[in-house]
């Protein structure tokens, strides 16, 4: 969706091809957006004009700030959404976006001539000409769903798989491999004994992802919810998913989540049935998500532990389905029932659907450039799970970048470049296209080397220039952010010039335990968000300047372009192994070359000398 919306919002006629429009925006697994590092990506998409953050805010039923005891760089927002409202709202946004048409059909392949995409071949409609195509086929390419020994060909529970497109892309020269992921069973909410569970309340007021929503201030005026008076009429009411768009204030009437744990009996049931699990019975060969393991994985890898957390999360206000987070598995359905009922509070649990594992094809992202365009066929862009990532946020971030770049290609504009120093989006794309991945890739704050610069809270400001050049973010929001930046910089300068008892207000604010609002003469017209920016910038200024110096060094290496057709064997003394690796990845800059695993500093020095000599 982000790809299609970004392309259409860039002013290019766009067609969203899907096997079923009804399933567009449907969350395959837990209806939760954000979490550690993922929420940074959501905020970046929002800052550039994408839809994910605002969609999660409008349909959230349980929002929390994570890591509140740690510094601002690693704090994150996580929002449990109403599963149905989430995709219904997104589908309405798609339907009402000018220049965006929807086509229910199967893409079988691409019309590629002289190394460039000229069209998409659809099963029913035949050839549809286009200037560029973005493939975001998720887990649908040769998707196989496993419930114990049962295997069905499927792209996701209830959806058929799409095998032709993957074979076609393979034929274009892209390298392919298999990965797997899984999902827990779904239980009926009325069959759970909540008295036996620990309760996890949401935050009040709830945090939101979207700058647009925070700037409107609507979310904090909860008292308006009763009659909707004064609220924004474009807000979406989750209870009205099937009806008109009625006013609703995000964050009102949130729901709690609950927590329980596995027992000795649970572990025993899983151990006894391991050979019947698709994962451990040898039926699945693809690599799974290391940091979101199946319950079988947890039992095998942590044999001494019996009490694993199980979070009981509602899938919506009017939805009877609950999601027992932590019990993803591929055991036979009857074993799943026995296993779930051994967990306190779930003794009488009624199943709506069993859990399952899915194995699917993904393409080696090292065959893509930083714009997410194929290095083998121009005009072919790829984004999301097909590039080896897992997660809604990772998919949305890549979709946004690929959609913008496909549109820019159609408009004859150069692609946008997002560096590791600019955004988590840049970190993710650089990791994928430089290092590739042999397990489902998900984002972590530890992947970013400039964490203090890339905070969730400063996304609208640090990406302001990029948002302007992309041109999707509404002009009034762009102006609002510019005004805020101006206020922040003016006030910071004032703090440096006003002194109290020999210290500047800036120095006083830098000290422990002092907040911006505690300062004499604090500007009460600043919003909470602006005041927080000043506070964080001042308190972390020392560390930020060290990171900024490293960014400067990186920028110098990023500025040295490496020709795509460079003959690495012509560089004297370059190790053969490095020459092969460089020729395989074909880095776009010296900085990217330096990040290729196995290419060492002396190789980079030789490459740099060679490039400088050739440039003379
Ligand atoms: C079982 C399961 C569990 C998961 N668990 C989680 C989780 O807990 N948390 C999390 O963040 N992520 C989870 N994920 C991953 C998450 O769902 C994906 O990473 C994300 O949705 C991928 O987005 P995407 O846009 O790449 O593909 P998808 O959202 O899968 O969308 C693919 C789209 O492509 C269409 N399509 C495919 N092939 C064709 C074709 N040939 N022609 C026309 N249309 C086609 C489909 O109709 C569909 O609309 C899970 C995924 C699955 C399947």
Alpha-carbon distance of 431 to 28, in angstroms, equals 25
Task: Decide: 116 and 248 in contact? Cβ < 8 Å.
Answer: no
Site residues for ligand 1, CB cut-off 6 Å = 17-20, 23-24, 28-30, 106-107, 136-140, 156, 162, 165, 181-183, 358, 384-385, 390-392, 395
Q: 33-47, 79-93, 330-344, 445-459: lowest mean pLDDT where?
A: 79-93
Query: What is the arithmetic mean of pLDDT over 8-36?
Result: 95
pLDDT bucket at 241, cuts 50 / 70 / 90: very low
Alpha-carbon distance of 188 to 446, in angstroms, equals 37
pLDDT bucket at 157, cuts 50 / 70 / 90: confident
The closest of 35, 159, 18 to 445, measured between CA atoms, is 35
User: Regarding predicted confidence, which is higher, 291 or 543?
Assistant: 543
Write the DSSP symbol of residue 389: B
Task: Decide: 362 and 179 in contact? Cβ < 8 Å.
Answer: yes
Alpha-carbon distance of 573 to 577, in angstroms, equals 11
Residue 258, beta-bridge partner list: 199, 312
Ligand 1 center to 157 CA (angstroms): 11
Alpha-carbon distance of 289 to 597, in angstroms, equals 22
Predicted confidence at residue 290, as pLDDT, reads 63
Mark 322-347 as b/e (b = at least 16 C-beta within 10 Å). bbbbbbbbbbbeebbbbbbebbebbe
Distances (CA, A) of 43 to 54, 57, 206, 456: 9, 11, 15, 6
Per the listing, tokens 């939101």 go with 208
Query: Quick one: CA dihedral 30, 31, 34, 35, positive or negative?
Result: negative
ipTM, interface predicted TM-score of the complex = 0.97
Tokens representing 594 are 């330096």
What architecture does CATH give domain 481-546?
Answer: Orthogonal Bundle (1.10)
Ligand 1 center to 411 CA (angstroms): 29
Task: Decide: 12 and 368 in contact? Cβ < 8 Å.
Answer: no
pLDDT bucket at 318, cuts 50 / 70 / 90: confident
Neighbours of 513 (CB within 10 A): 5
Residue from 39, 181, 356 whose mutation best tests the ligand 1 pocket (most atoms within 8 A of CB): 181
Residue whose CA lies nearest to ligand 1 atom number 38: 137
Could you read off the pLDDT of 331-377 as tens digits, one per residue?
Answer: 999 999 999 999 999 999 999 999 999 999 999 999 999 999 999 99
CATH class of domain segment(s) 559-615: mainly alpha
Domain boundaries, the chain: 481-546, 559-615
């Amino acid at each position: 969706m982000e790809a299609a919306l970004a392309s259409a919002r860039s002013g290019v006629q766009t067609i969203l091809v899907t096997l079923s429009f009804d399933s567009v925006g449907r969350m395959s697994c837990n209806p939760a957006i954000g979490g550690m590092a993922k929420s940074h990506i959501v905020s970046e998409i929002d800052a550039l004009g994408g839809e994910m953050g605002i969609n999660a805010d409008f349909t959230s039923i349980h929002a929390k700030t994570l890591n509140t005891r740690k510094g601002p760089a690693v704090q994150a927002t996580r929002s449990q959404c109403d599963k149905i409202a989430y995709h219904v709202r997104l589908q309405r946004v798609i339907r009402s976006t000018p220049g965006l048409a929807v086509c229910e059909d199967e893409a079988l392949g691409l019309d590629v001539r002289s190394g460039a995409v000229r069209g998409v071949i659809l099963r029913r409609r035949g050839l549809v000409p286009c200037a560029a195509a973005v493939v975001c086929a998720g887990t649908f390419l040769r998707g196989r769903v496993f419930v114990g020994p049962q295997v069905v060909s499927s792209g996701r529970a209830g959806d058929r798989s799409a095998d032709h497109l993957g074979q076609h892309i393979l034929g274009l020269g892209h390298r392919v491999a298999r990965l797997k992921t899984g999902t827990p069973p779904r239980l009926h909410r009325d069959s759970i004994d909540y008295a036996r569970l620990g309760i996890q309340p949401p935050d009040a007021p709830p945090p939101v992802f979207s700058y647009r929503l925070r700037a409107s201030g609507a979310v904090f005026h909860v008292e308006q919810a009763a009659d909707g008076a004064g609220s924004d009429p474009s807000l979406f009411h989750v209870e009205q998913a099937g009806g008109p768009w009625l006013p609703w204030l995000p964050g009102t009437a949130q729901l709690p989540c609950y927590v329980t744990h596995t027992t000795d009996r649970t572990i025993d049931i899983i151990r006894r049935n391991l050979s019947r699990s698709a994962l451990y019975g040898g039926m699945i060969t693809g690599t799974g998500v290391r940091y979101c393991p199946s319950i079988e994985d947890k039992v095998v890898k942590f044999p001494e532990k019996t009490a694993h957390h199980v979070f009981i999360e509602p899938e919506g206000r009017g939805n009877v389905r609950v999601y027992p987070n932590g019990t993803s598995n591929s055991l036979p359905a009857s074993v799943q029932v026995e296993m779930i009922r051994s967990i306190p509070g779930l003794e009488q649990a009624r199943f709506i659907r069993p859990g399952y594992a899915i194995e699917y094809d993904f393409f080696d992202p090292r065959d893509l450039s930083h714009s997410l365009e194929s290095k083998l066929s121009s005009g072919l862009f790829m984004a999301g799970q097909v590039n080896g990532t897992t997660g809604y946020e990772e998919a949305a971030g890549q979709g946004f970048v690929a959609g913008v770049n496909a549109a820019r290609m159609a408009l004859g504009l150069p692609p946008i470049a997002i560096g590791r120093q600019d955004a988590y989006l840049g970190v993710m794309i650089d990791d994928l296209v430089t290092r590739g991945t042999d397990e489902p890739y998900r984002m972590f704050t530890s992947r970013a080397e400039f964490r203090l610069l890339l905070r969730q809270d400063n996304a609208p400001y640090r990406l302001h220039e990029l948002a302007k050049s992309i041109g999707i973010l509404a002009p009034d929001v762009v102006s609002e952010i510019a005004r805020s930046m101006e206020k922040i910089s003016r006030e910071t300068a004032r703090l440096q010039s006003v002194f109290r008892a020999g210290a500047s207000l800036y120095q006083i604010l830098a000290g422990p335990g002092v907040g911006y609002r505690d300062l004499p003469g604090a500007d009460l017209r600043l919003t909470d968000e602006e005041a927080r920016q000043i506070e964080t910038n001042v308190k972390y200024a020392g560390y930020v300047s060290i990171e900024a110096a490293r960014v400067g060094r990186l920028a110098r290496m990023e500025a040295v372009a490496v020709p795509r057709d460079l003959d690495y064997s012509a560089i004297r003394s370059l190790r053969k192994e490095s020459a092969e690796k460089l020729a395989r990845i074909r880095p776009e800059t010296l900085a990217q070359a330096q990040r290729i695993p196995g290419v060492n500093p002396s190789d980079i020095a030789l490459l740099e000398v060679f490039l400088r000599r050739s440039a003379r």
